[in-house]
Amino acid sequence: MAAHKKPEPGTMTDRNLALELVRVTEAAALAASRWIGLGKKNEADGAAVEAMRKAFDAVGIDGTVVIGEGEMDEAPMLFIGEKVGAGGPRMDIAVDPLEGTTLTAKAGPNAMATLALAENGNFLHAPDIYMDKIAVGGGLPAGVVTLDDAVAVNLRNLARAKKCEISDLVACILDRDRHKDLIAHCREAGARVMLITDGDVAGAIATALPDSEIDIYLGSGGAPEGVLSAAALRCVGGQMQGRLLYESDDQIERVRAMGHADPRRCFSVEEMARGDVMFAATGVTSGAMLRGVKRSPHGATTHSIVMRSHSGTVRYIEAHHNFAQKTWTPT
């Protein structure tokens, strides 16, 4: 038997790993889909977490969850530091088994199961606190937008780079009270604003999708979601910056303990997700990026996306699942 060829530095060990990751997000999406519209976001999240955790048992990696459901004492499954996989190369894992728990509970758009994979040590270790974010798609001058510039300056520079008027730009922002001033500044500058109730990973990624109407993503959201967004944008040449936000001195000390000497540092997309990165997501409910799970009496159809930074490829996968012999009753 021929010896296994050693992978090149900075590259994943096996292209088939991409399909394995999609199977993991498919499992989470299928489990969560049974709770769509039932008004039980915690149950939907729990089902996605359990299914994703079990699916990882068949993936040939030695994985460590660095972005997960929380700390070990707060999350019984897929907690930060948990080991997953069937054995193999050491990998960092970033997961959000159900991005959009409230969206799922209310049958809203854009809920999805997501995960990202990088070689060991290549994901930013970020606690579950807020992060200020700004993201744009690919094909733009480096540093075209930054967190240090005013909103109007960023919009003006982006419009100039895209050879359009500011009034042609659409900014995607989470609909939160904390964003009132941000929304007002965007509109005062002349840009249109698309408000979303949840799902800021999808909002950030949409800036890099050719059929999307979103030009820029702005605002604060979860830091774990920020790392997942950065992983996806790395695969398609998008730009992103993130700066951690704090509500207490304890959070600042926690970040320092995770190895970040400057808690106020602004992280680039390359610093949040380095090296060869893979990103996978499966739609739970239909949205701008993915179709949701479509169930039938005998099975279901899923729609997924998988991206890889090394090759720059983006693949959409439609899968048909037959589980006619399985039954389920919500409790």
How would residue 297 be classed by pLDDT, with cut points 50, 70 and 90? confident
Quick check: is 318 in a domain?
Answer: yes
Quick check: is 330 in a domain?
Answer: no
Phi then psi for residue 195, to 5 deg, are -95, 135
The rounded radius of gyration (Å) of the Cα atoms in the chain is: 19
What's the number of domains the chain is made of?
Answer: 2
| 264 and 177 together in one domain | yes
The amino acid occupying position 219 is G
Task: Tell me which of 293 and 75 has the higher pLDDT.
Answer: 293
| 108 and 151 together in one domain | no
pLDDT of residue 319: 96
Asked whether the beta carbons of 134 and 154 are under 8 A apart, the reply is yes
Q: Taking the model in full, what pTM does it have?
A: 0.88
Asked whether the beta carbons of 330 and 251 are under 8 A apart, the reply is no
| Residues spanned by the domain of 88 | 17-122+277-322
146 contact partners, CB below 8 Å, separation of at least 6: 134, 154, 241, 266
How would residue 2 be classed by pLDDT, with cut points 50, 70 and 90? very low
pLDDT of residue 69: 75
Look up the CATH number of the domain holding residue 105: 3.30.540.10
The residue among 251, 272, 293 that closes a domain is 272
Among 160-174, 209-223, 243-257, the range of highest mean pLDDT: 160-174
Please, which residues bridge with residue 308 across strands?
Answer: 278, 313
Please, which residues bridge with residue 170 across strands?
Answer: 192
For the four alpha carbons of 175, 178, 181 and 186, in that order, the dihedral sign comes to negative
| 49 and 92 together in one domain | yes
Tokens of 220: 């604060």
Asked whether the beta carbons of 255 and 244 are under 8 A apart, the reply is yes
Asked whether the beta carbons of 23 and 58 are under 8 A apart, the reply is yes
| 134 and 255 together in one domain | yes
